[in-house]
Amino acid sequence: MLDEGCGSPVSPPVDLRPVQLELPGERRDKSVSTVERLSIPVQAESQRFQMPPAPAHGPAVDKSDHRLVYQLRADPCGHCLIFNNVNFSIDSDLSARAGSDIDCEKLEKRFKSLCFQVRTLRNLKAQEIDLELRKLAQLDHSTLDCCLVVILSHGCQTSHIQFPGGIYGTDGKTIPIEKIVNYFNGSQCPSLRGKPKLFFIQACGGEQKDQGFEVGCESPQDETCRGSVESDAIPFQAPAGSVDEPDAIASLPTPGDILVSYSTFPGFVSWRDKVSGSWYVETLDSVLEHYARSEDLLTMLLRVSDIVSTKGKYKQIPGCFNFLRKKFFFLCK
C-alpha cells in the first residue's frame, strides 16, 4: 500500500507510453520477467541498483572550450540556496514531508563538494520563500560563475506560460515555478546574464499516478513501492476565468542560460521514501557522486531519469526544461 502524503484521491491509472533510455555501457538484467519485477520484495542496501563505473576516457568535449562549455573558475563558483519545507500549518491540510531532511543533508554535502556556497532555509511560508529568492537575485553575482536553487516541498499544477508547476509554502499558499525562475532571467538579474542558472525541484507536478506499462524484460530489477513511500501531490484547481494569453508570450524575457530539473513529469506525483528520502534526490546525489568529474549536467540528468524510471510499482520519470546554451560541467574539488 502507498501512503498518500497529502491525502489526495486515487486517480484512475493513466496509460502512458514512455520511451526507456539505454545509456552506453549499461547492462540490463533480462532474467527477470515484468511480473516478477513488479513484485520483488524490499531489497537490502547491498542488492539495490549499482551505479555503473564512470567512463575511463573522460568527456568527449574540451572543458576549456568557452564556445561549447560554461567556464567555472571562481571558488566558490556560485550561490546555492536550498529550501526545505518539512512541516506545514494545520489549516493547510498538507502533511509533514518525512524524509525531506535526508534529501536536504545529501544535497548540502554534495553541492559544497562541487564548490558552491550553500545556504539552507527550512519551513518557510510562500511569502518568505518569495522574499529570499528576490534577495538572492538582487545580489551582485559578477565575481561568480553560476547560481543554483533547490526546492524541496509539496507541489501542484498551476496555470502557466513558460514553466509548469508550483510549490507550496508551509502556510499552504503556492508560488509558480515560472515566477521563481524569472527572478533570475537576464532582465531581472543583470549580474547573472550569460551565466548558468540551475533549478532542482523535488515536488509533485500534479496528482496523477503512473502505473507504467509492461516491457519485454528490458528494465533492471528494482525495489517495489514500499509502505514508507509518500507523494508530494496536491490536486490542481484552476482559478475561475484563468486563461493563458498567447499574445503575452512575446513580451516575456527569454529564459536564456536556465535549466529547470523536475523530479517528475508535469501532472504526476513524485515519490518520497520516509527512510531514504525521495527517489529523485537519492538518485541525483548518487549520479553526481559518480559522474560529476567526467560528464556534463544534461548527460547526468539522463542517467537520473533512466534510473528513477525503473523504480517501484507506480512509476516516475524526472525531466527538465533546458535553455542552456553550452555544456555545463561542475567544478569538483
Active centre residues (catalytic): 154, 204
Sequence-distant (6+) residues with CB within 8 A of 178 are 160, 161, 162, 163, 164
Rounded to whole angstroms, what are the CA distances from 27 to 205, 218, 300, 317? 31, 10, 17, 20
170-173: which pairs have CB atoms within 8 A and are 24 or more residues apart? 170/85, 170/87, 170/88, 170/89, 170/92, 170/94, 170/123, 170/124, 170/125, 171/88, 171/89, 171/92, 171/125, 171/126, 171/127, 172/88, 172/89, 172/91, 172/92, 172/93, 172/94, 173/125, 173/126, 173/127
255: enclosing H helix or E strand: none
Task: Tell the residue number behind the cell numbers 527477470, with chain if given.
Answer: 32
With 0-12 / 13-18 / 19 or more C-beta atoms within 10 angstroms meaning exposed / middle / buried, residue 239 is exposed
Prior bond of 18 cis (ω within 30°): no
Q: What is the DSSP letter of 315?
A: B
DSSP secondary structure letters along 4-72: -TT-PPPPPP----PPPP--TT-----SS-HHHHHTPPPPPGGGSPPPPPPPTT--SS-TT-TTTB---
Please, are residues 11 and 209 in contact by the beta-carbon 8 Å criterion? yes
